[in-house]
C-alpha cells in the first residue's frame, strides 16, 4: 500500500495543482487555455522522452537544445529553396541522427564524461549555427509544417498527439525490448553489465542517438509553431527536460525512471507556469516557484529511497 501511495504521489500532486488553479482562475479553466497547455508543453515532453532514456542509462545530453535548433534551421533553409516538406523533415531527423551518433561514440567509446562531451557538442553546434545564419532567423514555409505544431485532430493538438506517440514508443522500448533492459542495466551498474555480456558501447550510442532524434522531432514541432529556424530558440531545453525527468522520479545516477511519470511531470510544470501567468504573477517569480517544485521533488525522492 505504501508503494502504491508513493507511486501515485506525483499524479495526486498534479491533480491538486490542477484543482487549485481551476478554482482560482477563470481564464485557466477556459477550454482554449487547457488545450494551449497541451500544445505549448508537448515540445518539452518530446525532448524529455529522449532525455529520460539517457538519464536511465546513467548520462544526459546538454546539446538537445542545439540539436533542436539545428533541425529548425536545416528545415527552414531547405524549405526556402523549394525542397518538398518530406525531404526537409528527413533532413531535420538526419541532423539528430548525426549529432546523436557523435555524442554516443565520444561518450561510449572514447569514455568522455557526458557533461563534458555534450557541453562541447552544444557549443560547436551553436557556434556553427550562428556563423551560418549570421544570428538571423531563417524563414520557412510555415503552411507546410503547420500541421505539426498548430493544427488539431479530433479537437486535440497534433503537437500533443506527437508527444503521446513519442511517449508510447519510449515506453515500449524501455519495458518491452531487450535493449530497454540493457539501458536499465547499464544505468544500474555499467561494469556488471559489461561482465554480463551487455554491449555497453553499442547501447550508449543508440541511447544518445535516440535522445538527439527526439530533439529533432521537437524541433520540427517548433518550426510548425513559429515558422522560423532560430539558432537560440531552444536554449532552455536541456535544463527544462532534465528538471521534468527529475520531478518525474528519474534518478540522475541512472537505473530508474518511468515514462508515465515524465508525462505527468511535463503537464505539472506546464500547468504551474501557465497558471502563474493566468493569475498575473510576475515572470520573475515563476522560475522561483519552478525551482522550489524541483527541489521538493528531489527531496521527496531522496527520502523515499
Tens of pLDDT, residues 50-81: 999 999 999 999 999 999 999 999 999 998 88
Torsion angle of C-alpha atoms 181, 186, 187, 191, degrees rounded to 10: 150
Tens digit of each residue's pLDDT (9 = 90 or more) over 178-204:
999 999 999 999 999 999 999 999 999
| Residue 222: per-residue pLDDT | 94
CATH topology of domain 40-304: ABC transporter involved in vitamin B12 uptake, BtuC (1.10.3470)
C-alpha angle 292/298/300, rounded to 5°? 100
pLDDT digits (tens, 9 = 90+) for 110-154: 999 999 999 999 999 999 999 988 888 888 877 888 889 889 999
Confidence label for 8 from pLDDT (cuts 50, 70 and 90): low
- pLDDT tens-place string over residues 164-180: 999 999 999 999 999 99
Nearest CA-CA partner of 174 in 56, 11, 7, 301: 56
Buried b / exposed e over 271-294, threshold 16 CB at 10 Å, is bbbbbbebeeeeeeeeeeebeebb
Question: How does residue 6 score in pLDDT terms, banded at 50, 70 and 90?
Answer: low
Our CA angle for 155, 159, 165, nearest 5°, is: 100
Instruction: Give 266-285 pLDDT, tens digit per residue.
Output: 999 999 888 888 888 877 78
CB 185 within 8 A of CB 193: yes
Position 74 scores a pLDDT of: 92
pTM exceeds cut of 0.85? yes
Amino acid at each position: 500500500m505504501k508503494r502504491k501511495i508513493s507511486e501515485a504521489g506525483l499524479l495526486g500532486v498534479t491533480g491538486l495543482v490542477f484543482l487549485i488553479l481551476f478554482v482560482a482562475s477563470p481564464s485557466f479553466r477556459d477550454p482554449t487555455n487547457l488545450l494551449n497547455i497541451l500544445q505549448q508543453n508537448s515540445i518539452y515532453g518530446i525532448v524529455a522522452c529522449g532525455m529520460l532514456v539517457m538519464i536511465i542509462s546513467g548520462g544526459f545530453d546538454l546539446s538537445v537544445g542545439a540539436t533542436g535548433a539545428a533541425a529548425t534551421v536545416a528545415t527552414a533553409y531547405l524549405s526556402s529553396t523549394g525542397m518538398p516538406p518530406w525531404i526537409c523533415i528527413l533532413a531535420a531527423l538526419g541532423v539528430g541522427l548525426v549529432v546523436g551518433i557523435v555524442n554516443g561514440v565520444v561518450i561510449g567509446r572514447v569514455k568522455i564524461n557526458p557533461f563534458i562531451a555534450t557541453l562541447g557538442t552544444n557549443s560547436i553546434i551553436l557556434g556553427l549555427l550562428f556563423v551560418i545564419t549570421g544570428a538571423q532567423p531563417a524563414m520557412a514555409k510555415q503552411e507546410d509544417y503547420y500541421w505539426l505544431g498548430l493544427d488539431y485532430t479530433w479537437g486535440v493538438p497534433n503537437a500533443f498527439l506527437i508527444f503521446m506517440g513519442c511517449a508510447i514508443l519510449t515506453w515500449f522500448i524501455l519495458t518491452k525490448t531487450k535493449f530497454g533492459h540493457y539501458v536499465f542495466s547499464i544505468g544500474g551498474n555499467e561494469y556488471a553489465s559489461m561482465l554480463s555480456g551487455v554491449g555497453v558501447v553499442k547501447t550508449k550510442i543508440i541511447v544518445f542517438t535516440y535522445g538527439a532524434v527526439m530533439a529533432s522531432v521537437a524541433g520540427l514541432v517548433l518550426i510548425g509553431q513559429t515558422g522560423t529556424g532560430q539558432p537560440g530558440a531552444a536554449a532552455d531545453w536541456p535544463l527544462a527536460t532534465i528538471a521534468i525527468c527529475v520531478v518525474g522520479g528519474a534518478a540522475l545516477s541512472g537505473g530508474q525512471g518511468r515514462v508515465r511519470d515524465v508525462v505527468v511531470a511535463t503537464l505539472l510544470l506546464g500547468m504551474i507556469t501557465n497558471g502563474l501567468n493566468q493569475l498575473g504573477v510576475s515572470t520573475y517569480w515563476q522560475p522561483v516557484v519552478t525551482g522550489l517544485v524541483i527541489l521538493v521533488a528531489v527531496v521527496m525522492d531522496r527520502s523515499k529511497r
